[in-house]
Amino acid sequence: MSDLNTNELHALVSLLDDTDAEVRNHVRDKIFSLGTEIIPFLEESWEKSFNPEIQKEIETLVHELQFSLLRTRLENWKSSEDRDLLTGLWIINTYQYPDLEFEKLNAEMHQIYFEVWTAFKNDLGPYDQIRIINNVLFNTLRFSANTKNFHSPSNSMLASVLDTKKGNPISLCAIYLLVAQKLGLPIYGVNLPNLFVLTYKSEDITFYINAFNKGLIFRRQDIYNYLEHLKIEPKDVFFEPTDSYQIILRSLRNLSHSFEKLGEVEKVEEIKAMIQILES
């Protein structure tokens, strides 16, 4: 785990409430330098400690180590060739649930895909294929819009959305998108102001899908009407497919907004630091 033995680690942790601030800072730096492998030991120390000051210091250290790991993962994701959407969503998820394994999310998404795939028919036209996906996702599996707690951070956490079957526009679209692309359909995300939707875009046909409204199919003209209603000038970006990078960026902005609404200032700052990684 580290070049220190267990006794030395215990001795370090016991100094976390030292009256000398310089000693405390030195101890924190030393523990932090040991990296994320030290987390299980710190968690065990927290359980065994009866000192609330030390427990508080351990909680801070564990969070900082976990956040450092998340930042590294996000940097790696940004520089990866494919910028896999599910991996990006999993990284966001580990902000609230650091112990969540990618394999767990992947297995749950595969189960949803399997449910759709068993009902799917390749020889049908696009509209009928979309109706099948809509039926499985929104009737059989009962995914729906989280209108009651629209600004809840859990709407940006894929594991929570898979668990509660309730999400915001972007999380519901992400589930839909991951399933549809695995089926080989030309479906992509579309970044609209205040709303995230999908587009079915092939050489022959283009239409749009609102996963937040049970997969409602709509047309280009409806987007014009929507923008006009919001008094927003139409731009190409509001009609054309976006990529996984923009989806993850928008998910993080949603999350930042959620924490802002809750007055969680420190979390807002951390999410902004994640956004900064993507934008730099």
Q: Which two tokens stand for residue 217?
A: 């199919």
Would residue 233 count as lying in a domain? yes
* Cα dihedral 172, 174, 177, 181 sign: negative
Residue numbers of the domain that contains 40: 6-79
pTM of the model: 0.91
Would residue 1 count as lying in a domain? no
pLDDT of 181 over the 50 cut: yes
Beta bridge partners of 207: 200
Domain end: 59, 79, 99, which one? Answer: 79
Tell me, yes or no, whether 60 and 145 share the same domain. Answer: no
Mean pLDDT, residues 86-92: 98
Domain end: 46, 64, 79, which one? Answer: 79
Tell me, yes or no, whether 135 and 264 share the same domain. Answer: yes
Q: How are beta strands 187-192 and 166-167 bridged, if at all?
A: unpaired
Question: DSSP letter at 249?
Answer: H
Would residue 191 count as lying in a domain? yes
Average pLDDT, the chain: 94
Tell me, yes or no, whether 174 and 66 share the same domain. Answer: no
Domain end: 26, 55, 79, which one? Answer: 79
DSSP per-residue letters across 55-123: HHHHHHHHHHHHHHHHHHHHHHHHHSSS--HHHHHHHHHHHH-TT--HHHHHHHHHHHHHHHHHH--TT
Tell me, yes or no, whether 124 and 255 share the same domain. Answer: yes
Would residue 272 count as lying in a domain? yes
Tell me, yes or no, whether 145 and 43 share the same domain. Answer: no
Tell me, yes or no, whether 27 and 98 share the same domain. Answer: no
Of 242, 199, 247, nearest in space to 86 by CA: 247
Tell me, yes or no, whether 176 and 259 share the same domain. Answer: yes
pLDDT in tens, 130-146: 999 999 999 999 999 99
pLDDT interval class at 4 (50, 70, 90): low
pLDDT above 90: percentage of residues in the chain? 78
Mean pLDDT, residues 145-158: 93
pLDDT of 2 over the 60 cut: no
Tell me, yes or no, whether 102 and 209 share the same domain. Answer: yes
pLDDT of 164 over the 60 cut: yes
Cα–Cα distance measured from residue 86 to residue 78, given in angstroms and rounded to the nearest whole number:
13
Tell me, yes or no, whether 177 and 199 share the same domain. Answer: yes
CB contact at 8 A, 158 and 107: no
Would residue 188 count as lying in a domain? yes
Q: Which two tokens stand for residue 241?
A: 């497919």
Tell me, yes or no, whether 48 and 181 share the same domain. Answer: no
Q: How are beta strands 144-145 and 166-167 bridged, if at all?
A: parallel
Cα–Cα distance measured from residue 242 to residue 126, given in angstroms and rounded to the nearest whole number:
20
CATH number of the CATH domain containing 151: 3.10.620
Tell me, yes or no, whether 101 and 73 share the same domain. Answer: no
Structural domains in the chain (count): 2
Tell me, yes or no, whether 159 and 237 share the same domain. Answer: yes
